[in-house]
A and B are shown apart, each in its own frame.
Chain A
């Protein structure tokens, strides 16, 4: 049963929820202008677009249940470890953002580069050279030449 609701029906459901989140307050903003002014109100356009998002979301659910869904995350055996890598990459990215917020951007980017190259099984020599070049380039171009302040 659950299998039927994976893929397109689930994605359609997300569109329906997204549309509803905007539709309900949208109606509240007013479909016509306040005080008898001519023309539509602030809620007119978001109501139309969010209602249409809900409509097409429902259509996707219907199509998915009737015709079957695209296999979103289908892989052959050789690709199976890729999902784990993506999860690790995302976790490392969150860690990088925390390092940036609490310590320093360039330290974070250097650690991110070292870690990514490590999980992608690059040699230590390449990893170190690449990290130094990347971090150095970002520092020189953005911080020194373009005066972008990465300190939060």
Chain B
């Protein structure tokens, strides 16, 4: 790799504007991540159309900042009220809340900041060293590989969707079907447009995403709201803010945490690179693994600072892995990376191996922004550690009104299109019904996003083979991916059978 390119891209992000946008992103992420019910996905979905108006470096500085900090800030509620702010912080409740109850809440907040940043930095280092070789390997990929890759990403998302593969499949294929509205990618035939020019451009996935993850979530929270529960949570917070103790771990603790956290950082990066295997899965796996290897496994789950450091490292450790898959293959591993792909497309870039040759500088900037965001997390996170408890005092109603207004503005700002606002509102209602019925919205969004890629590559492959399906069995990478897809779909059935056998035994 040419070091001068790295240096140039580093200088490009070291401008006051980029640093300011990155810092703003980190601060927004801290607030959003710390509020239960507001996810990194929602934040990025709403902010993406807004960042389109900025320079790409500034826009991405903000999005990367929000993404990294919202994931870390989800741990704040996990510590203080035993409720993960984002799904990524599930494992943080195991030890974080126990630490707080033992009078070590400040230390837990400090560990959350420091080890989330360490996890993010470790995974970004993996990204920096592995992304370029992976991208050069994938240059040889043809339509069959891309078709299978996109299908693999979608199937992974479906297989982990709310424990119901059939519902996930229905939602995923509905998303794919909706993606066919507009101009056909090969023959330029108008499909399902009803002679409307706005439909000829296809269904834009960003308003749908904002609606499903923003407005849909707000409606669902309104529906589930209970005055009594909200009241007791506020009481808990008032007590939590009262006494937190020291924030920084001692040097002895740093040394003690070194091995398990580095291991967790590496493990979570690998897990993060697998499409749909999110931070929640990674942090639970890493926490369990660290417990097995620990000298004090009995302390895990009872307020172990080591166990907590591991879970914090792993929830941010997946981000570099997810970014590796996204940048090198152009495949979104989860909803956030799906939006980031959309964001790169808005700037005229196509994630995948081509980006590593055509926009090398920007790829490097994204990697460096990841490091920069983690440094900003340490600075702002430690400065605001004790204050962060106060963020949680915000009433959900305040958040609902603010989020609704931002959903409207976010969906409109992209194309100055009122029909996008109507689309967002409709998607919000659909998202609410999906939530009520246990249908995960992720496969729908991914289907809508990947539909074009799937269709064009499938049809190109069939044109190349004169309509023969043999082409999918002739290329080794395609074949491996096909086997992986089959395993992914069979996994829930295998798991069910194993559990049944265990129960019977």
Pick the residue among A39, A52, A134, A150 that contacts B459 (CB under 8 A). Answer: A39
Is the C-beta of B263 less than 8 angstroms from some C-beta in chain A? no
Judge whether B50 and A146 touch: CB under 8 Å. yes
Give the chain B neighbours of A46 by CB distance below 8 A.
177, 180, 191-192
Q: Which of B177, B222, B408 contacts A86 (CB 8 A)?
A: B222
Tell me if A130 is interfacial: C-beta within 8 Å of chain B: yes
Interface size class of B (residues with CB under 8 A): 35 or more
Known: A63-B166, A73-B436, A79-B226. A18 touches B412 (CB 8 A): no
Whether the pair B180, A49 counts as a contact (CB closer than 8 A) is: yes
A39 and B191 contacting across the interface, CB-CB below 8 Å: no
Query: Which residues of A sit under 8 angstroms from B177, Cβ to Cβ?
Result: 18-19, 22, 46, 49-50, 53
Bitwise interface map of A from 67 to 109 toward B, beta carbon under 8 Å scored 1, else 0: 0001011011011001101100110010001001100000001
Chain B residue nearest to A92 in the complex (CB): B404
CB atoms of A150 and B412 under 8 A apart = yes
Q: How far is the CB of B412 from chain A (nearest CB, A)?
A: 7
B380 interfacial by beta-carbon distance below 8 Å: no
- Distance of A147 Cα from B50 Cα, bound (Å): 11
- A86 contacts B219, CB within 8 Å? yes
Which chain B positions have C-beta within 8 A of A122?
A: 395, 397-398
B-side contacts of A93, CB under 8 Å: 404, 425
Q: Which residue of B lies closest to A138 (CB)?
A: B409
**Within B448-469, which residues are at the interface with A (CB < 8 Å)?**
451, 454-455, 458-460, 462-463, 466-467
Task: Tell me the bound Cα distance from A112 to B437 in angstroms.
Answer: 29
Secondary structure at the B interface, as helix, strand, loop or mixed, is helix
Smallest distance from the beta carbon of B432 to chain A beta carbons, Å? Answer: 8
Contact B413 A148 (CB under 8 A): yes
Contact of B227 with A78 in the complex, beta carbons under 8 Å: yes
Are the C-beta atoms of A40 and B467 separated by less than 8 Å? yes
> Are B187's CB and A41's CB within 8 A?
yes
In the bound complex, CA of A134 to CA of B437 (Å): 33
Assembly CA distance A130 to B438 (angstroms): 34
Q: Is the CB of A78 within 8 A of B437?
A: no
Is B224 an interface position by the 8 A CB rule?
yes
Contact A83/B425 with A29-B189, A45-B459, A59-B166 known, Cβ cut-off 8 Å: no
Give min CB distance, B411 to chain A, whole Å.
12
**B225 contacts the other chain (Cβ, under 8 Å)?**
yes
B386 nearest CB across to chain A (Å): 25
Most buried by A among B167, B177, B462: B177
Is the Cβ of A38 less than 8 Å from the Cβ of B191? no
Show 10 A/B contacts (Cβ-Cβ < 8 Å), sorted by A: A12-B170, A19-B173, A49-B177, A60-B170, A70-B438, A72-B433, A85-B222, A113-B405, A120-B400, A148-B413
A contact residues vs B (CB 8 Å cutoff): 7-8, 11-12, 15, 18-19, 22, 25-26, 29, 32-34, 38-46, 49-50, 52-53, 56-57, 59-60, 63, 70, 72-73, 75-76, 78-79, 82-83, 85-86, 89-90, 93, 97, 100-101, 109, 112-113, 116-117, 120, 122, 130, 134, 138, 142, 146-150, 152
13 additional contacts, CB 8 Å, given A45-B455, A59-B166?
A: A7-B437, A25-B191, A29-B184, A39-B460, A53-B173, A53-B177, A70-B438, A73-B436, A82-B222, A82-B224, A116-B397, A147-B53, A150-B412
